Structures are given as structure tokens and as C-alpha cells.
Structure 1
Amino acid sequence: MEAGILLRSVTPANLIRRRSTAHRRPTMASLSPQGGYRGPKPNTEWVADWVSKNDDLVRSLPIYVGGISILAVLFNRTVSGISPVADTSSSQSRADLLALGLSVTSILNGLVWLSIRPKYISVVNPDGVECQRMPNRLPDSVISELLWVWESLSDVTCCRSLVVVYDGIFILQIGFAEKNANGGEAVVVDVENLMQGSLYCGAVRSGSQSYLANLSLYPGKSELPFLPSNTQAVILQPLGDKGLAIVGGDTIRGFTTSDQV
């Protein structure tokens, strides 16, 4: 049944997983007479925790170390009575020059750490309207399965939009969609234009899933005008060689490897 093919293609494999316990070693744990826990304790990475909580301080640390080192070299030359002018014939001067070079390198390294920071990925609210569209001629059993697929995807993944086209026929548009500028309703899926686009043709021709982890970087985004303008990621899942399921997410790289199965 066509609906069965559709469900097997778009349903994530991580809804239900059984963990094998055949080779699990038994763990002994008990309560002491005072009520305390006696058993294996989880390892705590206190160094990693401290660094993550003091990110700005750690990034600035090379600057402090380099600045203090420069002051220490100058103070040493002052109190030791060495001429402030560097003399290449003096071993002390050569050592001071090396220390100053290392200190400047440390300061520059700290400046680089401060200028380069990881970009934190956040969840965005889809800029569109919610809709639920399906042809009236679909059997009730197919409609219920499609709704179940949508509920499963939206519950366990970052999916916020789902469009299904099969055999040149519009099957489903649910979740958030781009708002029509005229009436404020959801933009209708133009199946003919969609099937002529490079995204649709490439995914169906290859027969393999295509994951656009950061949709804004792909020029083919214009071929999906029915998705919210700020859709972050898209999965193009072929349904055999006759259809395509388009899954839109609200987070860049939000779909994990298990979600793409």
C-alpha cells in the first residue's frame, strides 16, 4: 500500500529502541545504615566544567600571562643593573629577547581566542502560519496514518513543517507554512513547479535522502516557497521513485543521524 511506503520512509527510527542487556555487568549498590549511597559514583570532569563556566577568563588568560611576563623581564633588568639597551653579546639580553618574544606571542594568542568564538545554535520560532491540508478523497485510514507520522516527527525531532507529494499529487501539508501576502493564509504547494525544481529532481533521481543542514546556505531554498522563510534545516526524503517528503526544522543541524534513518 502506498501509505505504508510513505510511513516507512518518513518515520524516524529512534522512536522506540530496545537496549540489549545480555552482556551488561551487574552493578552492586546499597544504602549505608546512615542512609548514604554506597556504590559506583559518576565521574566528574571538574576541569572541563570549570573551563565551560569561566569561558571569558580562560580566553583572556594568555593575555594576562604575556603581560605579566613582559613586566617581569623589565623588572629583572631594572633590579639586576643590566643596561636597558639589548646587547647581543650578553647571554642575559638574548634570554630576555626570547622571553619578550614568547610573551608577545602569548598576548596575540589571547587576542585570537577572544576574537574567535563558537556560534551558539538556538531554536527559532517559525515565521508563518499553522495549517493542515489534505485532499478530501484520501481514505480515513491513510489520513490517520499521516497524522500519526506528523505527531511522531514533531514530538521527537525538530520538525515543524511537513509536505508530502506522491505520484504528482499533493498529499499533505501540515505544520507551519509561509504566510500568503494577500490573505494571510498559508501558501499553497505548487506541485508542478516543485517537481520541476532541481531539489525535487535530484532527490528522486538519486533515490537517497538529502539533508540540507543549513537551508539559508543553499540557493535551492527558493524552490520551497511554501516553507516558513526562517526554516533552518530541511530533509528531502524520496518515497520510492514517485514521491517526496519534505521535512522542515527549526534548528540548524537539528536533525540527528538517527532522525535521518
Structure 2
Amino acid sequence: MTQSDQNQVLRMLPIIAGGLGGTLLMINRFFTPNLLASQARSDVVGVILSAFLILTGLLWQQIQPSSPDSVKLIGESRFELLPELSEIVKTELAWASSLLLTNTITKTIIIWYEGKVLLRRGILPSESQVQPGAILKRVLEKQKPIYLVDLKVYPGRIEFNYLPENTQGVICQPLGNNGVMILGANAPRSYTKQDENWIAGIADKLTNTLIINNFNKSDFRN
């Protein structure tokens, strides 16, 4: 049973308990020919408690909505780095991608910079070439991230053929003027505002590393 299923069961428990309690009270009343005053008072208390449980369960459904359904992404687990990168840059990219994969809903990471795919990590299809489409070009032009909360409803999803075909959500985070970090999730509407802020912070650190790399050629292997 997944965490989402367990949460759903817990949210339903007060409704189930309240409904069962009310049903048993009705059955007991039906089979009691001579109702005593004390029993009547007990029944009233029981009805109130059952109603309270049902109301609590309904409120939980509103306050704690179900988590978005996740899917198993179509692809294979991969970890690929551009060979000519220096060990310093490889270590930085590996560190950043590991943090994102283990601390957010992210299942796929692609870092595209100056026309090259520097890193592919997570669940990925065989297609490895990134051809910037309208969405990536807008991210680079506006220098603002774009979060596609439910990828399947966006016509522009066809440009993300380098992500698993059933990717549910995508964040495109700019890396300065020359690159984009593309994150894929296996559930729609799954990134929180805190996640987005954290992703932006990691992107800024990576951008700084890549800018230094761009002007310091010794950071590349010859």
C-alpha cells in the first residue's frame, strides 16, 4: 500500500466509524420494545458522537486533500555526464542532481547549457538530444522558470520528447542566459512553493559554477 493509499484510509476512518455507530444505534432502537429513559439519553449522545465523527471525516477530506496520483515513469535509470567536463564540474552536477532526486518529487533531471546536454540523470528514455522549443526559448528569454503542473494538458509537451512520455509535471529553471535545468516529476501538481524556491537556489549555484567554467578553460579536460 502506498503512502497516498494509507492517508486516504486514515481520512476515511472517522466517516466509517460514525456511520457504523449510527447504524448500530438504529438497529438497537429497532429491536428494543420498551425504551427506558436512560437508553433514550444514551441514544441521543450516541447520535451526536456519530454525527461528530462523520463531520470530522468530511472536514479532513477538505483540509487534507488526497495527494496527486503518481505513475511509474517509462524509461530506464541513467546517469550520464558530458565526458569533457572537468572533475570539479562533474562533482558539482552530481551533487546538485542527487539533492534534487532525493529531496523532491523529481524523477528526471536534464541540464542543457550552451547547446550541450551536460547531465542526464534519473528515469530517462532513449532520446538524449535536446532541441529547445517554444517553452525553453521563453525561459531563456524571460529568465524566469516555467512550471507545467500537469504536462499532459499542455500542447507544448511535444517538445519534451527527451523526457519519459508519461512525465506528469515539469519545471524549466533557467541557468543564466545560456542554459536550462529541466526537472520531470511522476505526479502532477507535486512541487510546493518551497520546492520551487529550493530548486531556484540550486540553479543559481550551478549557474555560478558554469559561468566560472565558461571563462576558465582549465576547468575542462583537454
Same fold (TM over 0.5): yes
The residue type paired with residue 53 of structure 1 is: L
TM-score w.r.t. structure 2 length?
0.60
- Structure with higher Rg: it is 1
- In 2, the alpha carbon distance for the partners of 1:150 and 1:240 equals 18
- 1:16 aligned partner: none
* Contact kept? 2:136, 2:180, Cα under 8 Å: yes
Which of 136, 142, 165 is the matching residue for 2:89? 142
Aligned partner of 2:128 in structure 1 is: 188
Deviation of 1:232 (Å): 1.1
Query: Compared with structure 1, are the counterparts of its residues 248 and 51 closer, same or farther at alpha carbon in structure 2 (3 Å cutoff)?
Result: closer
TM-score (norm 1): 0.51
Aligned residues: 149
Q: Is 1:167 paired with 2:103?
A: no
Shift, 1:243, TM fit = 0.6
**2: CA distance, partners of 1:187 / 1:54:** 49
Instruction: Quote the residue 2:101 is aligned against.
Output: 154
- The runs of at least 4 aligned residues of structure 1 exceeding 3 Å deviation read 54-59, 117-120
Residue 180 (structure 2) aligns with: 244
Other-structure match for 1:121: 68
Residue number in structure 1 paired with 2:164: 228
Q: Unmatched 5+ residue regions in structure 1? A: 1-49, 60-112, 179-185
Q: What is the CA RMSD across the aligned residues, in angstroms?
A: 2.8
SS at match of 1:259: helix
Aligned mates of 2:163, 2:143 — CA distance in 1:
22
Q: Structure 2: 5+ residue runs without aligned partners?
A: 1-9, 20-57, 198-222
**CA-to-partner distance for each residue in 1:55-88, whole Å, 9 max, x for gaps?**
47989xxxxxxxxxxxxxxxxxxxxxxxxxxxxx
- Structure with the bigger percentage of helix: 2
Shift of 1:123: 2.3
Pick one of 41, 53, 60 that aligns with 2:13: 53
The answer to whether 1:257 aligns with 2:204 is no
Give the Cα separation in 1 of the matches to 2:11 and 2:170.
34
Would you say the 8 A contact 1:51–1:58 is kept in 2?
no
One-letter amino acid of the counterpart of residue 128, structure 2:
V
- Once the two structures are superposed, the pairs formed by residues 93-108 of structure 1 within 5 Å of their partners are none
How many Å separate the matches in 2 of 1:51 and 1:166? Answer: 45
| Amino acid corresponding to residue 252 of structure 1 in structure 2 | P
Alpha-carbon distance between aligned partners in 2 of 1:165 and 1:155, rounded to the nearest angstrom:
21
How far 1:237 sits from its partner (Å)? Answer: 0.2
1:213 aligns with 2:149: yes
Distance 2:11 2:86 in 1: 57
